[in-house]
Amino acid sequence: MNSCAGLILILLGLFLKASSEEISTNAYYLELHIEAEAYENFTELLKKLNLNVPDGQNTATVQNISITTECNSDSSGQVNCSCNENYTWSDEVCKNYTQCCTNDQNNKLCTFKTPNPRAMCLHKNTVLVNGSFTVLAEPYVRYFDDPASKQYQDFVKNYTEKLETIYSRLTWFDTLKITKLRQGSVIGEFWMMITSPERFVSKDLENATSTLQFTSNATFDLNVTGVVKMTMNPAFQKTLNYSASVNITCTTPEDLGKPEWLFQQNASNPKQITSGLESTVINSNCNSTVYIKATTEVWKGTYKCSYTKSNIRYIASQYLDIALLPRIFSTSDPQFPDCRQSQKRFQIKVQCIVPDAGEAYQIDWNDKSITKEQPALLGNGLISYQAYKIIYCDENKENTSATCTFKNRNNQTANATININIIHATTKVCPKNSEWATAKAGFTAEKLCDFGSVGLKTRNCLSNGQWDNVTSMCVTRDLSDLLNDAKDLQRGLGIVKENAYNIFDRLRISTEQQTVNSFANVNASVDVLATITNASKIQDSQWDAKVLSVIAKSTSNLLNGSLNDSWKSYNVNESLASTYLQAIEDVINQTYLPTGDTDNDLIQENVQITIYKGSDANSTSINSFKVNATCQSNSPTVQTAIKNLASKLPNNLNKQETDPSDIILSVIADNCNKIKLELRKDRLPNHEMYCVFWNFNTSQWSDEGCKWGGVDNPNICECEHLSAFTILMAKEPIKLLYNEELTYAGLGLSIGSLTLCLVIEFLVWNAVVKSNIAHFRHTVLVNIMVSLLIADCSFLASPTPSSNPSNWCLSLTVMKHFCYLAVFFWMMCLGLGLLHQVIFVFVHLRKKVYLGLCFFLGYVCPLLIVVVTFISHNNGATGSYYSTETCWLMYKGVLKGSIYAFLLPVFVIVFVNMFTMAIVISRILKPTLSEGSSHDEKEVARSIVKTVVLLTPTLGITWILGLFMQMLDLTKQPYAQIVNYAFTFFNSFQGFFILLTGCFGEKRVRDALLKRLRSQQSVNYKSESSTRMTSITKQK
């Protein structure tokens, strides 16, 4: 800044512009003394005045003369000065005369002592340039560290002249000064002031800087203030109310493009402001505005808008002050005063705990009897405002309260009430338990989390005087800070793309710690994922694919088996797993997908992310999880296989309980309308499988648009859309309608029929059994009937296994296993006897040999099979030998389980008996083939039918349907249903069919039975006649 010597000016400050032959400019400040009466004439003269002023050998023109400051001396010799319109006191005046620059005094009278050449005002449009230049060809020497050295001073003088030569050509150039040299080649820091009552032209500064860069072989970095004007509604000078709305506008004299908005709080790193949940940025020509929806502690700080044009930054900044209100946690010590003790008077410490935000609150308590104490710092960024309240037990109050009220600088208030529940002699309580003091039944005890964590721990004291489980919402400090940073991005503080890697990497580190093993920490971790993806959607930006490596690791860590219990809260909430799954899909959607091979870092223990180019999309797979998908798409396809999550989601479909697969496969691609998936799930027989996707709208699995591949392709799914898929298996097998009722009805009728058949055999035995063959046949039939009768009774005795004692279920299983095997072995004896009779017509069986063989096969063989099976399956252990749900043998897969100790012998015997029946039929057909008589053919056909009907029940041929049942799954409709109903009908009614074919179907048995019944009737008739004759004789 220059002053003109030789001029003694007292009243008036003039703003002068000097132009030399080098077209450089400078601003001069002069003081003039004039009479007050000449003021108006003088100011009119100034508007027209141009002066030619000699400047050494050159001539300068003085023009644009303006009045900046007006002063009047009073009688005491002091000078009262004021700034004219568009001018304000200089920084030097404000520093030395602070009373001149208060909000109420600015631009008004200010009193100085005479003389005071520094009492001047500067134009409000003064532009300050803070910059640095880097001299590329100049080495840095140690002398530059000392400002007093000649080398330092020569360098500064040289480059000051270079800079002034160019920058002095700027209109209203005022002052330039180099302030510091530092290392990095040679970097010089300088500032420059341009007093600009006229409109500033950025192009002039850019051209001057470009010229300097060329002539000085240096690069320049400039920050310009004073060009951009920042205003706020309400005004910056006021402290804003808490939770108010505010808009901050930056205005430029010309179009400088879109600015970068920055926010800085205390000494933290600046964050860029963008549109978010709480802020909106709107840009227009020469204006940019940030709208803050609610002023909270988050938004208290310094705001800066920065325009960048030709490597020059035009900056404006202001501090936004907000009168804060706290979030209050209130408690008392003790929480439940115990008046059962001898103590009749309690001094209760009541506390209102708030974050230490640096706000000077005025604290009031509603009860004047409460004694205040000094606030205490608790650590963790909390401060406790505490007081003492007296409670008298003899007043017999059930409860009392205390209310704290916080008032900020703008007289806004926030309060919290502490309810103190008192324990009396008749009060039911929960006794002291570990860190939890005695509590009153029906109320909740609360505690702040331990140091290093944020949140609360609560525990309900139930009405019965028992403690409930502890509910902890304590989140580690690292996770809490991480979640707050993610929420800042969501609010609009920070660019997601620039901060994503840091957020996800910190999440990876947090999830690798042992401290994450709690519901609160898992919930906070999932919240971080959901929050940052939501922020990315709001900003409509994507992060780089390199972020996926840390995403895969952190998300996989959350699904480790050690954290399974941490996903469960005492308040059952299955939405956490749904939020996690949604976040995974959103993370992929918000990633800019590269093309190329899969990155190995994406393969983690519980999460595997695979990216394929469009040309490879038809063969996408994730082999380590044994799942794959085929999608017709030319765009990149991303598959995310997630293990150990399905069990954390609701596993029902259309109100039917299901068993989920271990893997959920999420597929994301563009232009893919149909997808084929292979999902691994071990399927049990007759259990329906459902190809489903997770419907985020209903928070349920849905099979809409998906089709299962059927029993032949049990792991294949085809869907008409993309989502997160899995395959579910019904917990219960398919139930045939009325099949159970048909079974019990048939068994009941069979038991009655077998009982009747045994009675008939007893009645006609002597009349029918008159040859060895007849004796053999009826002996076998009786043993078949007895074994089947016991087996059916055992079956009926175990319809509801859960209601029977465990040992009873085991006994019934053994009994059924033995008796049903005995039935089939006796049927085999019957078939072998018939086969011998047909083949060896003239060779007769010896009675002892045949019956001995039959009894060995009929009882010893089944017994051996049962004993060996029992011992080999953990001595009849539950779940190994038998199932307590069915009281029957176990099926564990193909040729696995104790059930095959029944099925294999049965099917072997059935095939042997079918062979026997085939031989019998072939013998019947031989005469027909030789004779060729049509009449005989009909007779033979009737004989064949009769043979099949009579032999099928007693030889157990209908059990061949059981083989088809094993081959046909109930999901194969309708064939499997037809076979199952046929099997149930023929075999549950087997006893009835044996009665019809084995008893009533044999003519000798019918004749003997009729003869027995007639003889009995004759005996009854004779007895009745004899009685009648005796009665008549006596009457006579």
Low-confidence spans in the chain with pLDDT less than 50: 1-22, 105-106, 599-600, 617-620, 928-931, 933-935, 1021-1022, 1025, 1027, 1030, 1032-1034, 1036
- The whole-number pLDDT of residue 930 equals 47
Name the token pair of 1005.
């048995």
CA distances from 8 to 4, 15, 18, 493, 883 (A): 9, 16, 20, 55, 116
Q: Which residues on adjacent β-strands are paired with residue 129?
A: 192, 224
Q: Rounded to whole angstroms, how far apart are CA atoms 176 and 190?
A: 7
Name the token pair of 313.
């930054």
Given CA atoms 821, 823, 829, 831 in this order, what sign does their dihedral have? negative
My answer on whether omega of the bond before 115 falls inside 30° of 0, hence cis, is yes
Residues 6+ apart with CB under 8 A from 269: none
Q: Following CA atoms 89, 91, 92, 97 in sequence, which dihedral angle do they give, to the nearest 10 degrees?
A: 60
Three-state helix/strand/coil letters over 282-297: EEECCEEEEEECCCCH
Say how many CA atoms lie within 13 Å of 307 toward its Cβ: 25
Given CA atoms 782, 784, 790, 792 in this order, what sign does their dihedral have? negative
Domain boundaries for CATH 1.20.1070.10 within the chain: 739-1008
In the 8-state DSSP scheme, what is residue 493?
Answer: B
Say how many CA atoms lie within 13 Å of 169 toward its Cβ: 16
- The whole-number pLDDT of residue 66 equals 72
Q: Rounded to whole angstroms, how far apart are CA atoms 192 and 203?
A: 17
Instruction: Give the type of residue at 567.
Output: W
Domain boundaries for CATH 2.60.40.10 within the chain: 229-320, 325-426
Write out pLDDT tens, residues 255-270. Answer: 898 999 999 998 889 9
Architecture of domain 127-225: 2-Layer Sandwich (3.30)
Domain boundaries for CATH 3.30.70.960 within the chain: 127-225
What would you report as the CA-atom Rg of the chain, rounded to the nearest whole angstrom? 50
Task: Kindly state which CATH superfamily the domain 229-320 is placed in.
Answer: Immunoglobulins (2.60.40.10)
Q: Rounded to whole angstroms, how far apart are CA atoms 373 and 384?
A: 10
CATH number of 739-1008: 1.20.1070.10
CATH number of 325-426: 2.60.40.10
Write out pLDDT tens, residues 474-501. Answer: 999 999 999 999 999 999 999 999 999 9
DSSP character string of 314-332: EEEEEEE-B------EEEE
Beta carbons of 631 and 651 less than 8 angstroms apart: no
Beta carbons of 517 and 566 less than 8 angstroms apart: yes
- The whole-number pLDDT of residue 6 equals 28
Sheet strands (E) in 490-636: 543-544, 591-592, 607-612, 621-622, 627-631
Name the token pair of 385.
């405002």
Architecture of domain 517-730: Sandwich (2.60)
Distance of alpha carbon 707 from its chain centroid, rounded?
27
Beta carbons of 242 and 412 less than 8 angstroms apart: yes
Q: Which residues on adjacent β-strands are paired with residue 317?
A: 304
Q: Rounded to whole angstroms, how far apart are CA atoms 334 and 312?
A: 63
Beta carbons of 24 and 165 less than 8 angstroms apart: yes
- The whole-number pLDDT of residue 617 equals 45
